Amino acid sequence: MQHLSGLNDKQKEAAIHKDGPLLIVAGAGAGKTKTITHRIVNLILSGVAPEKILAVTFTNKAAKEMRERILKEIGKHAKGQDSIPFVSTFHSLGVYIIKENARILGLTKYFSILDENDANALIKESLKELSLDPKQYEPRKIKNIISREKGKFIHLADYTENANDPLLSVGHMGQIVAQVWNLYEKKKTAENALDFDDLLLKATKLLKDNIKIRKIYQQKWEYIHIDEYQDTNEVQYLMSRMLSENNSNICVVGDADQNIYSWRGANLKNILSFEKDYPKAKIVLLEENYRSTKNILEAANEIIKKNKYRPDKNLFTENIIGEKIGFYEALDENDEADFVATKILEILDRANDTFSNGDDAKQDILRKSIIGSGSVSSDFFSLRTAKQLSSLEKIKENYASPAKLSEVAVLYRANFQSRALEEAMLRYNIPYQVLGVKFFERKEIKDTLGYLRAALNPESLSDIKRIINFPTRGIGKVTLAKIFAKNTENLPIKTKIKINNFYKLLGDIKEKIVTEKPSAVIKFVVKYSGIEGELSSGGEEENERLANIKELATLALKYDNLGNAKENISGIERLLEDAALASDQDSIMINERKNVPIENRGSATNIGAVKLMTVHASKGLEFKYIFITGLEDGLFPNAHEGETKINEDKEEERRLFYVALTRAKEKVFLCFANFRTIFGARCINTPSEFISDIPVDLLEKEGEKGGIKTIYI
């Protein structure tokens, strides 16, 4: 049992459980990944073949981390073991099942996976063909409705039947969605393409409808592990049930208190009803937190215990008591952002011991000096002498500690809140990273990958449309329509030559895919497609786009030796799959180059930066210092205009705040703005109810001399 020596008693109890259903209720920071990893290793050491084990999570990052931990533990305790469990995301698992059964589903193995933009474009085309105005019926909204229905395991035929049933009163919009959905599916079929939701829907339907195939995968994987079970939707729930129904050796890990994705279809009842679904299930509570201080956990427990729909659980820790939770009452969003920026400098100063914590004058200069902002009271500016500003600039120059900057995260409920915060980071020359636009969503990256997908699947009209005029080839919309209709006989000879050259290029790329490594293929595409020439002759923006493409070639090096003849998956195919399956939490954007000082541009390994992100995006992450901004009624907890939040919505907002609190290791700062300008209107705010839910003895008012102050809520 040496491999279990690093676990506490409850973690060991979960790890040694072998047969039968197991629910691990793992609180924030309780070591769930460590526990599930050691359980898998324990299964292997007890004689279970690794290939009989399946572990499924939600992000590529989480899957990679779990895979690496398993390999590390196997290397220590099971030397000579050359096979590993199947560890993937739900969507990657869907791709795997669909690829193995593509012919049954009427697909080729080179089917395309549409990203959101391509899917929305097809929806827009469908609307136009139905003589419906995309401005009246927003494609993204219709796509979201379709996605929501697919997540509930609702198929087109069922939805159409309901839409045409007058007794169900689905309304005119439901009938419109049914028409668009029908044409959308036809277009995808013609292109040999699937959207993101299809990866789960079709794989699950295949398992449900085909007993023979279902038994194949039940026998293939005898031990099933599902991470973040509280975030599963109906399709993921059904997939998990069907894969485990043969022997019920299913282990799910999750926390009802961290269910924050109902808007994406996550169903809280899945984890709350696990005991009902599996009456013989063993339940293990992981309540010891290894991340946060006692004060932070006490505040988090006080918040979450007000929720009704949750198992009885109370986190505890052996860590120190720690600092009280800071609270800052700002004048407006600019004052709030200024507080965040200057407090970050203060944290760095305290860590670097540049000047005394008790030097209130210097602290006031830092906090109150808002360059170019008129958002604070006049006494702020009375301190801004030339000498003080010069001192401030000198102080700024000294704050280049990457190790410390990366330990700070600023969280907000809504994306629009980032503007003022980003401006403050720029004013104080604080490098920052925004969790937002993903690498694979950048246009130049999607264009380059479009060439690869089109080479493998020339029937993918979405990819052809994307790349045929990038770089410009002089092929207009009318010509493009004739190409799609396979009606090119009457085109001018010059146009035919352009089309033939384009498809010859795709053929050359296909040949390179077969014979060359992925990194070499990317370089070939960039050079011979004309992308390099087009971008090289441009300005700064074009140069940055070309630099991003070159980074793609560097990334492709990781796929150079991933070809697997047995599974017939090449490095390029893996690269395309990973690009399509990349999710919000898989990567933090290195930087927004326009927003980061040039001396700080570079890779994440070369710079430190404060992280700016929504609370939703912070799930699964941890930092020493957490700022939670915008704690105003109507913003956090969020409420839609003209609507009254029902209890379930309020509970999810409270869970969201709980998640935000438990990201912190050492210190939390809460921020409230008396005024906030939203959509051009200056709003007067009342503090969030969450602030008053925290015992006053755990709060410390920031921005005033003398330490702890009474907080009036």
Hey, what are 641's tokens? 């205009």
Contacts with 585 (C-beta within 8 Å, 6 or more apart), sequence order: 58, 59, 61, 62, 617, 619, 620, 621
Using DSSP, how many helices (H) and how many strands (E) does the chain show? Answer: 31, 17
Q: Check if the beta carbon of residue 70 is closer than 8 Å to that of residue 41.
A: yes
Q: Which of 33, 160, 218, 495 is catalytic?
A: 33
- HEC sequence for 473-523: CCCCHHHHHHHHCCCCCCCCHHHHHHHHHHHHHHHHHHHHHHHCCHHHHHH
Within 13 Å and on the Cβ side, how many CA atoms surround 125? Answer: 17
Active site residue 89: no
Spell out the alpha helix ranges (H) of 662-711: 689-693
For the beta carbon of residue 645, count every other beta carbon within 10 angstroms.
15
CA distance 125 to 187: 9
Question: Among residues 703, 711, 670, which one has the least CA distance to residue 296?
Answer: 670
Q: Which of 57, 230, 236, 258 is catalytic?
A: 258
Active site residue 241: no
Active site residue 227: yes
Question: Among residues 121, 93, 64, which one has the least CA distance to residue 450?
Answer: 121
CA distance 223 to 248: 8
Using CA atoms, how far residue 434 sits from 422, 584, 611, in Å, is 9, 12, 6
CA distance 405 to 347: 9
Q: Check if the beta carbon of residue 708 is closer than 8 Å to that of residue 700.
A: yes
Active site residue 118: no
Q: Check if the beta carbon of residue 152 is closer than 8 Å to that of residue 265.
A: yes
Q: Which of 453, 663, 667, 676 is catalytic?
A: 663
Q: Residue 606 in 3-state DSSP?
A: coil
Question: Among residues 336, 354, 338, which one has the least CA distance to residue 400?
Answer: 354
Active site residue 258: yes
Q: Which of 32, 67, 202, 667 is catalytic?
A: 32
Contacts with 154 (C-beta within 8 Å, 6 or more apart), sequence order: none
Q: Which of 73, 115, 118, 227 is catalytic?
A: 227
CA distance 234 to 265: 8
The full length of the chain comes to: 713
Q: Which of 118, 149, 197, 228 is catalytic?
A: 228
Active site residue 222: no
Spell out the alpha helix ranges (H) of 260-359: 269-272, 274-277, 294-304, 333-352
Contacts with 432 (C-beta within 8 Å, 6 or more apart), sequence order: 422, 425, 591, 595, 596, 609, 610, 611, 612
Question: Among residues 698, 709, 685, 697, which one has the least CA distance to residue 629?
Answer: 685
Active site residues: 32-33, 227-228, 258, 663
